[in-house]
Structure 1
């Protein structure tokens, strides 16, 4: 089974492409959802967060105080890196557990993982699919989707690895700068290619 990482920039249409993979019957796991699951009450990751950030990092009901943690890591880069060092490995372990639980005859499975390059995890996958669109389109989509000013949208984009750099590192690129039909055709062709490689391998 080939392990595929699906990534892209904010507002490039990665979630849409992930949905297309699901519609085609491909197993897809969402790293953002896993990032919430790995810090649920009783998990080792939440215990590590409490140890690093203090008892105030956990609410009375035993869940992580996301607002407080966000306030801390927004102001303190070291704290953000420490949080990522706790959460990201736990997410990767959960992704690998998802892959391992699939039938061995599964041609490929997809991990929807926004920060695969930023966390240096790209070598753990057999292929990297990047969903891309021109930066001006990305900016406009982000402003409309999140109701942000141009300045705030620019800041969000600046916090991520530029999409151009992700495209250079990709094994496959989905250009999501046209119609839904055009994007669907690219995804469907990629799915067919991944299935044929599995058969020939």
Structure 2
């Protein structure tokens, strides 16, 4: 059985950067954000369920999901967000398990990027949790820049999650991404060495 490590943290804390560093160290990384897109491809069970709940207005002319519109609908409405999560999370978890199984034979360690790990209560599924951390102001500025959204929308997105600082208290390792890439890579390397010494 491969050793499963969850990579989590708040939105725009640098999870993709850390995932890329881990890939550079030749470890497999499963990205549940990518899986979330995969399970709502046109004509998929996931997309059909979303249309059933939120109506056809969430579709683009191409038949693909209009993510921006769906995002705007759920971020202002806790019950809509809960409905979205109850549709998406079982589909994402099922596909994640499938991908883990396909890697399990040859991989000693598998990393899984799970942004909402604690929010959805998946932490017990993993052998270790690494929390990717950045201070709130860094997170906010990165999110505004990355998604080209205003400060108010960025604050809403961040506040819909458990604060990252709270997640760090539950972590096996914390990777602090407010520094340059070399420093972040050193932290990842140190965490890997510590882990390999224990395995």
Contact in 2 for aligned 1:18/1:112 (Cα 8 Å): yes
Tell me how far apart the structure 2 counterparts of residues 71 and 167 of structure 1 sit (CA, whole Å). 28
Tell me how far apart the structure 1 counterparts of residues 131 and 125 of structure 2 sit (CA, whole Å). 16
Task: Please give the residue correspondences for 1:15-34 in structure 2 after superposition, counting only pairs within 5 Å.
Answer: 15-34=16-35
Which residue is equivalent to 2:195? 194
1:39 aligns with 2:61: no
Q: 1:96 to 1:86 in 2, by over 3 A?
A: same
Runs of 4+ with >6 A deviation: none
Q: Deviations over 1:149-192 (max 9, x none)?
A: 55444333322211111101111111223232221111012222
Tell me how far apart the structure 2 counterparts of residues 153 and 106 of structure 1 sit (CA, whole Å). 37
SS at match of 1:129: strand
1:163 aligns with 2:140: no
Cα offset, 1:58, TM superposition: 4.3
Tell me how far apart the structure 1 counterparts of residues 110 and 14 of structure 2 sit (CA, whole Å). 19
Tell me how far apart the structure 1 counterparts of residues 50 and 27 of structure 2 sit (CA, whole Å). 34
Contact in 1 for aligned 2:75/2:156 (Cα 8 Å): no
Which residue is equivalent to 2:49? 48
Tell me how far apart the structure 1 counterparts of residues 154 and 80 of structure 2 sit (CA, whole Å). 24
- Calculate the aligned-residue CA RMSD, in Å: 2.3
| Structure 2 unaligned regions, length at least 5 | none
Tell me how far apart the structure 2 counterparts of residues 151 and 68 of structure 1 sit (CA, whole Å). 17
Tell me how far apart the structure 1 counterparts of residues 123 and 146 of structure 2 sit (CA, whole Å). 28
SS at match of 1:169: coil
Q: 1:59 to 1:175 in 2, by over 3 A?
A: closer
- Give the number of equivalent residue pairs: 198
Deviating more after overlay: 173-182 vs 90-99: 173-182
SS at match of 1:40: coil
Which residue is equivalent to 1:64? 65
Which residue is equivalent to 1:4? 5
| Structure 1 unaligned regions, length at least 5 | none
Q: Deviations over 1:57-102 (max 9, x none)?
A: 4455443343443343244322221111111111111111111001
Deviating more after overlay: 95-104 vs 133-142: 133-142
Deviating more after overlay: 100-109 vs 28-37: 100-109
Q: 1:103 to 1:75 in 2, by over 3 A?
A: closer
Which residue is equivalent to 1:185? 186
Task: Please give the residue correspondences for 1:109-148 in structure 2 after superposition, counting only pairs within 5 Å.
Answer: 109-147=110-148
Tell me how far apart the structure 2 counterparts of residues 52 and 146 of structure 1 sit (CA, whole Å). 26
Contact in 2 for aligned 1:35/1:91 (Cα 8 Å): yes
Deviating more after overlay: 117-126 vs 143-152: 143-152
